[in-house]
Amino acid sequence: MSTSIQEARALLLGDGATRPKLAYFAIEGVAEQVRIALSVAGIPFDDVAIPFAEWQSHKSSTKFGQLPEMTLPDGTIVTDSMAMLRLAGEADEEGKLYPANIALRIKVESALGLVGDLTRAWSPALAISMRPERFGYPSKEEWTDADVIVKKLRVNFIENELPRFMQYFAGLIKENGGHFLTGEHLTIADISAYQAIHYFRRGLADHVPADCLEKYPEILEWMGRVEGHEKVAAYKASKQAK
């Protein structure tokens, strides 16, 4: 096992007496990719859900006023889901989730960057319904015809932006052998991209039809491979059993 894998496992596992604690809300959100990656890497963790009703009183006790926060066994606080994702990936004993090989790692980082681009492209269409004043519109309570603009932004995203990103991701799968985004093994880039794309078929956002991914068969097949990965499937089954 390489030194960096040993170090990552030591940070996450400590002396074995205390598990890392992942604090977030009781939603998938940005933490689900971390939960999946920790599960694939075989790192037991405590998944702590902060109720939305308690958030305002809890907020000031967090480092940057937001969640997720991960507390490692030595007390270190990790504040960003992408930092947590990379740490979990590094802890994979098989070295597959976040490969040390620099050529592969660059592929993983590039794919993660593309996930960031997708999330940023979608973000205004999502955020406008939650915090319209940030975009120069009246507050949520005062903006009575908000839905016209919200719908316009979301329909535009699904029709004009999503196809471009689906084409980019499908291109990566193809050029890297037709299995996962960067090659024959599942990496943290697959987990992150899976979560970002899976969101659009969950029917959570108004004006985003749950069948909006149906026209991207290569993407659906790849999502099936991610879900079919033994450890991802085990994580999802354990979640359903709760």
Ligand X SMILES: N[C@@H](CCC(=O)N[C@@H](CS)C(=O)NCC(=O)O)C(=O)O
Q: Cβ of residue 72: shortest distance to ligand X, in angstroms?
A: 15
Q: Cβ of residue 21: shortest distance to ligand X, in angstroms?
A: 15
Q: Which region, judged by CB under 6 A, interacts with ligand X, from 41-49, 59-67, 189-197, 198-206?
A: 59-67
For position 68 contacting ligand X by CB under 6 A, the verdict is: yes
Q: Cβ of residue 182: shortest distance to ligand X, in angstroms?
A: 21
d(CA 179, CA 189): 13
Candidate residues 58, 59, 131, 174; the one interacting with ligand X per rule CB under 6 A: 59
Which residues are within 8 A (CB) of 33 and not within 5 positions of it... i.e. 6 or more apart? 81, 85, 188, 191, 192, 194, 195
Give the type of residue at 85: L
d(CA 59, CA 13): 27
Q: Cβ of residue 215: shortest distance to ligand X, in angstroms?
A: 28
d(CA 24, CA 46): 11
Using CA atoms of 118, 120, 126, 132 in order, give the dihedral in degrees to the nearest 10: -160
Please say which residue, 37 or 104, places its beta carbon nearer to ligand X.
Answer: 37
3 state DSSP class of 77: strand
d(CA 13, CA 38): 11
Candidate residues 80, 93, 161, 218; the one interacting with ligand X per rule CB under 6 A: 80
Q: Which region, judged by CB under 6 A, interacts with ligand X, from 4-12, 61-69, 125-133, 163-171?
A: 61-69
Please say which residue, 68 or 132, places its beta carbon nearer to ligand X.
Answer: 68
For position 14 contacting ligand X by CB under 6 A, the verdict is: no
Q: Cβ of residue 61: shortest distance to ligand X, in angstroms?
A: 12
Structure tokens at 51: 């109720």
Number of residues that this document lists for the chain: 242
Please say which residue, 66 or 167, places its beta carbon nearer to ligand X.
Answer: 66
**Among residues 49, 51, 43, 50, which one has the least CA distance to residue 18?**
43
Q: Which region, judged by CB under 6 A, interacts with ligand X, from 46-54, 79-87, 140-148, 190-198?
A: 79-87
d(CA 138, CA 191): 37
Q: Cβ of residue 67: shortest distance to ligand X, in angstroms?
A: 4
Provide the binding-site residues for ligand X, judged by CB under 6 A. Answer: 29-30, 59, 65-68, 80-82
